[in-house]
Chain A
Amino acid sequence: AQSVTQLGSHVSVSEGALVLLRCNYSSSVPPYLFWYVQYPNQGLQLLLKYTTGATLVKGINGFEAEFKKSETSFHLTKPSAHMSDAAEYFCAVTRSNDYKLSFGAGTTVTVRA
């Protein structure tokens, strides 16, 4: 079974500051890892994913994440926060022969002007 832990249910950053959202996973097999974003009253939108290959993954809206097997982590970063980044972010995991996503509890990001 796979599971995901997101550290911090709420993160507040200043506009222009670094955004860092932490995600740790547990999986008995090589994982596939995802970050989704949910804006108010909208569905989840895929930001980026790691399946195989390069461990630094770039996504939309300037976000990137690095898969670190030794740390079982897949932290999401963005160098400079924008007001439009205020949303809820979910880390998710699955494996190559599965289609079900297991989600973390989510991290709500607020951006201060």
Chain B
Amino acid sequence: GAGVSQSPSNKVTEKGKDVELRCDPISGHTALYWYRQSLGQGLEFLIYFQGNSAPDKSGLPSDRFSAERTGGSVSTLTIQRTQQEDSAVYLCASSLGASPATDTQYFGPGTRLTVL
């Protein structure tokens, strides 16, 4: 079946602009995660959605970052007033449930964001 898809695959933007990154999880997966992969910080957790519960936003680096998940499926990560340090690969993952013992996180190919 189809895996996690993300769009766009690459995004180049100018400093100060807003960007939206999209994630389509695997159908039927209730849990969705955003991670950021950057040279200086490695792979770091950003935000987690599980069903209709309030999201865990504890990994968002600043209030310029926000995310939503509509209808329990597609998610959008929005970065406002982008800065050069936001340049990174943004990875989305989904899992059937939220138990790490049984619910594997499946990752999308990522969106490479470059802020000029």
CB within 8 Å: A-B pair count: 57
Identify which of residues 93-113 in chain A touch chain B, using a CB-to-CB cut-off of 8 Å.
Answer: 94-96, 98-106
Q: In whole angstroms, what is the CA distance A63 to B56 when docked?
A: 33
Q: In whole angstroms, what is the CA distance A12 to B93 when docked?
A: 29
Q: Which of A16-24, A38-46, A67-75, A78-86 contacts B (4 or more CB under 8 A)?
A: A38-46
> Is B1 in contact with chain A by the CB < 8 A criterion?
no
- Residue contact A94 to B100, C-beta cutoff 8 Å: yes
Contacts known (A43-B4, A44-B91); A101 close to B101, Cβ less than 8 A: no
Identify which of residues 42-77 in chain A touch chain B, using a CB-to-CB cut-off of 8 Å.
Answer: 42-46, 49, 51-52
> Is B43 in contact with chain A by the CB < 8 A criterion?
yes
Interface size on A, as a range, is 20 to 34
Contacts known (A42-B109, A43-B4, A45-B107); A103 close to B101, Cβ less than 8 A: no
* B105 contacts across to A, CB distance below 8 A: 46, 101
B interface residues, Cβ below 8 angstroms from A: 3-4, 31, 33, 35, 42-45, 48, 50, 56, 59, 91, 93, 95, 98-101, 104-110
28 CB contacts below 8 A, A to B, read: A32-B100, A32-B101, A36-B107, A41-B109, A43-B3, A43-B4, A43-B91, A43-B106, A44-B91, A45-B107, A46-B105, A51-B100, A52-B101, A90-B43, A94-B100, A98-B100, A99-B31, A99-B33, A99-B48, A99-B99, A99-B100, A100-B45, A100-B48, A100-B56, A101-B35, A103-B42, A104-B42, A105-B42
